[in-house]
């Protein structure tokens, strides 16, 4: 893996490509949650690259500097490549949406595929991204329900989010279990 930018360098990249302040704030919140999840995974005995999780989470929505459609996934990955970021960061950006329909990937010039997260760092960032809604961290059930309403229950991202929740739950147990009352923060993991 190539050299990862620092947190400050990653935030400067977001500003330099023109990400709006609200997007940058969202990326910071996702990074904070993703790091908490990654640390909990480490404590549970999983190997997780904390730096990769942080940088990937900070840069996951880089493509929103150009569009707020699903195309931001592909544009962000291309922008990351152009900036010389390591392939592992590009892959986090490309998979953070949880998956896309293969024909959509092909329409944007990518090989057909659902682009679901595969590595643990990719899964942690995709999961954290779905749980961060505005200034809050929502319970998994609420995030899943919102994704189903937005994309339909058969969309690859919905199935991938449920699989990630199950996989992380196997390691983190009750911490990812049931719904949390409003205001309870998953960062206590």
Query: Do the beta carbons of residue 135 and residue 123 sit within 8 Å?
Result: no
Strand, coil or helix: 16: helix
Q: What is the pLDDT of residue 143?
A: 94
Q: What is the pLDDT of residue 127?
A: 96
For the packed helices 21-43 and 50-59, what is the interaxial angle rounded to 10 degrees? 160
The whole-number mean pLDDT for each consecutive block of 10 residues of the chain, a chain of 189 residues, reads: 90 97 97 95 92 98 95 94 97 93 81 86 96 92 94 89 90 55 40
Q: What is the pLDDT of residue 115?
A: 84
CATH superfamily of 7-173: Hypothetical protein af1432 (1.10.3210.10)
Q: What is the pLDDT of residue 176?
A: 60
Q: What is the pLDDT of residue 105?
A: 81
Q: Cα 24 to chain center, whole Å?
A: 14
Q: What is the pLDDT of residue 1?
A: 60
| Residues near 70 by beta carbon (within 8 Å), at least 6 away in sequence | 97, 100, 104
pTM of the model: 0.89
Rounded-to-integer distance, Cα 138 and Cα 25, Å: 16
Q: What is the pLDDT of residue 112?
A: 79
Q: What is the pLDDT of residue 175?
A: 54
């Amino acid at each position: 893996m190539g050299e990862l930018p620092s947190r400050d360098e990653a935030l400067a990249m977001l500003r330099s490509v023109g990400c709006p302040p609200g997007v940058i704030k969202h990326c910071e919140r996702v990074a904070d949650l993703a790091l908490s999840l990654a640390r909990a995974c480490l404590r549970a005995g999983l190997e997780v690259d904390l730096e990769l999780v942080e940088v990937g989470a900070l840069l996951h929505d880089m493509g929103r500097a150009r569009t707020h459609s699903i195309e931001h996934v592909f544009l962000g990955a291309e922008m990351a490549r152009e900036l010389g970021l390591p392939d592992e960061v590009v892959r986090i950006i490309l998979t953070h949406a949880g998956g896309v329909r293969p024909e959509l990937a092909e329409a944007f010039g990518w090989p057909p595929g659902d682009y679901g997260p595969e590595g643990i760092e990719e899964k942690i960032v995709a999961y954290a991204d779905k749980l961060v809604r505005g200034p809050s961290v929502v319970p998994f059930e609420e995030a899943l329900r919102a994704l189903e309403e937005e994309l339909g229950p058969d969309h690859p991202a919905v199935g991938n989010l449920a699989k990630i929740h199950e996989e992380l739950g196997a390691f983190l147990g009750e911490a990812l279990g049931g719904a949390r009352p409003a205001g309870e923060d998953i960062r206590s993991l």
